[in-house]
């Protein structure tokens, strides 16, 4: 295994007019990982992906792919392929022609193209759809055609722009696992852009959280969730109670599921008294908004392990909250 990163981004910035889309990004992406760029709309994640693909040129900084400086290399000469958010399937070609497009540009013999297109369509379970037009396919089938088309050239790096955003919820969950399985089977590097933190957390080996053109944290899903480095990350990923500590000089990010509800004062490291203001029953868990004596609000969640809980916590109930000293993450920014 080559230790050199497949993508190395150093000091990359990009502005569009007065808007700074990407602001001094440094990032290494390792060979063979599934990496996610996560952030809200306008955070610069798509611009960064498009700069890797070559559709945008960085104003400053360098992008190396497999050790090669990509400055001045047009998209059609880069060793990367992209799956577009809209899929960008060619409407005037059938499925097989779409998938064959990349190989035909390489001028391979027709027999080999046909064989590889057949394999690629098998891989995405569309073997008998080769003669259909994109307009005749369902959303999920189109997504698989786009995937097959992007993978057929066996790129070192596959870029995925919001790969699941256009699918409905049920399909999205199945497709998540399928993409991860494919990435592991092929041993390719995937870089995926998503605004959906659940998607990034469940699929990526590592992810970068972006905000206002900058990368605010890079890490495994576990690191980013349990050890956020800033209030932004703590708040953006999942739900967090952010409590001022040390007289307001720092904060504590406390996840709702790390807090337990008690009827009487517990002997946990920390204990606070309050009253349940709101209950949101979500089936697998319940979320409680608890007003503390000092007037602040804290979110607590409990897993609904039993079908009929012994202690249902109704609205208005006086409760005690308890958590351990190491349950939260101390934040300086």
Partner 1 sequence: MRLVIALPYVWLATFFLLPFALVLAIAFGTNNPDAVPPIDLGVSLKNFTLLFTDDLYLAAWLGSLRIAATSTLVTLLLGYPMAYAITRARPSLRPLLLMAVILPFWTSFLIRVYAWMGLLSSNGILNQFLRNTGLVADPGTILGTEWAVHLGIVYAYLPFMVLPLYASLEKLDTSLLEAAADLGASPITAFFTVTLPQSLPGVVAGCLLVFIPAVGEFVIPDLLGGTDTLMIGKVLWDEFFLNSDWPLASAVAICLLVLLVGPIALFQRQQAKSLERQ
Q: 3-state class of 224 per DSSP? A: helix
Strand partners of residue 330: 252
Nearer to partner 1, 137 or 224 (CB): 137
Of 72 and 247, the one with the shorter C-beta distance to partner 1 is 72
Distance CA 90, CA 72 (A): 27
**Phi, psi angle pair for 213, to nearest 5°:** 80, -5
- Of residues 157 and 207, the one with the C-beta less far from partner 1: 157
Pick between residue 43 and residue 103 the one whose CB is nearest to partner 1: 103
Smallest separation (angstroms) from partner 1 to the CB of 72? 15
Q: Can you tell me whether residue 13 is helix, strand or coil?
A: strand
Exposure string over 98-121, b if 16+ CB within 10 A, otherwise e: bbbbbbeeeeeeeeebeebbeebb
CB of 248 to partner 1, least distance (A): 48
Q: Count CB-CB contacts under 10 A for residue 12.
A: 22
The pair phi, psi for residue 3, each rounded to 5°, is -80, -15
Please report, as ranges, the residues that interact with partner 1 according to CB under 8 A.
53-55, 74-77, 80-82, 84, 86, 88-92, 101-102, 105-106, 149-150, 153
Q: Closest CB to partner 1 among 85 and 230?
A: 85
Least Cβ distance, residue 59 to partner 1 (angstroms):
20
State the nearest-atom distance from the C-beta of 85 to partner 1, in Å. 8
Q: What H or E segment, with its residue span, contains residue 174?
A: helix 169-186
Smallest gap from Cβ 20 to partner 1, in A, equals: 22
C-beta of 102 vs 221, nearer to partner 1: 102
Cα gap 332→94, rounded to integer Å: 55
Nearest approach, Cβ of residue 303 and partner 1 (Å): 43
In the bound state with partner 1, the residue whose beta carbon lies nearer, of 150 and 215, is 150
Task: Tell me the CA distances in angstroms from 21 to 10, 17, 57, 310, one per residue in order.
Answer: 16, 10, 12, 52
Q: With respect to partner 1, which residue has the nearer C-beta, 16 or 90?
A: 90
Pairing of strands 241-245, 214-219: unpaired
Shortest Å distance, C-beta 94 to partner 1:
13
Q: Give buried/exposed letters for 308-329 (b at 16+ CB in 10 A, else e).
A: eeeeebeeebebbbbbeeebbb
Q: Which residue has the tokens 């972006």?
A: 210
Q: Which of 155, 149, 54 is nearest to 102 (CA)?
A: 149
Contacts of 191 (CB under 8 A, 6+ apart): 7, 29, 35, 36, 37, 49, 52, 157, 158, 159, 160
- In whole angstroms, the minimum distance from the beta carbon of 84 to partner 1 comes to 5
**Nearest distance from C-beta of residue 76 to partner 1, angstroms:** 5
Nearer to partner 1, 92 or 307 (CB): 92
């Amino acid at each position: 295994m080559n230790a050199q990163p497949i993508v190395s981004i150093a000091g990359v910035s990009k502005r569009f007019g007065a808007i700074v889309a990407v602001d001094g990004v440094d990032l290494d992406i390792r060979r063979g990982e599934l990496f996610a760029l996560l952030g809200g709309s306008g955070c610069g994640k798509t611009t960064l992906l498009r700069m890797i693909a070559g559709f945008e040129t960085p104003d400053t900084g360098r992008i190396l792919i497999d050790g090669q400086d990509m400055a001045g290399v047009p998209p059609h000469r880069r060793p990367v392929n992209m799956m577009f958010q809209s899929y960008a399937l060619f409407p005037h070609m059938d499925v097989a022609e779409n998938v064959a497009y990349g190989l035909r540009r390489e001028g391979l013999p027709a027999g080999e193209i046909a064989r590889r297109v057949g394999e690629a369509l098998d891989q995405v379970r569309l073997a008998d759809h080769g003669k259909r037009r994109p307009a005749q396919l369902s959303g999920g089938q189109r997504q698989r055609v786009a995937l097959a088309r992007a993978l057929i050239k066996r790129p070192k790096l596959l870029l995925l722009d919001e790969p699941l955003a256009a699918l409905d919820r049920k399909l999205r969950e199945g497709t998540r696992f399928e993409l991860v399985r494919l990435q592991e089977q092929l041993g390719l590097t995937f870089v995926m852009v998503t605004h959906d933190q659940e998607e990034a957390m469940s699929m990526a080996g590592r992810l970068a959280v972006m905000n206002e053109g900058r990368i605010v944290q890079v890490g495994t899903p576990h690191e980013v969730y349990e050890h956020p480095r800033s209030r932004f990350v703590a708040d953006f990923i999942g739900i967090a109670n952010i409590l001022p500590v040390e007289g307001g000089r720092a904060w504590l990010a406390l996840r709702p599921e790390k807090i337990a509800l008690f009827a009487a004062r517990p002997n946990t490291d920390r204990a606070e008294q309050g009253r349940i203001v709101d209950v949101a029953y979500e089936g697998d868990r319940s979320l409680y908004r608890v007003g503390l004596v000092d007037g602040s609000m804290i979110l607590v969640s409990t897993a609904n392990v039993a079908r009929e809980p012994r202690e249902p916590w109704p609205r208005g109930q006086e409760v005690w909250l308890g958590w351990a000293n190491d349950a939260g993450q101390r934040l300086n920014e």
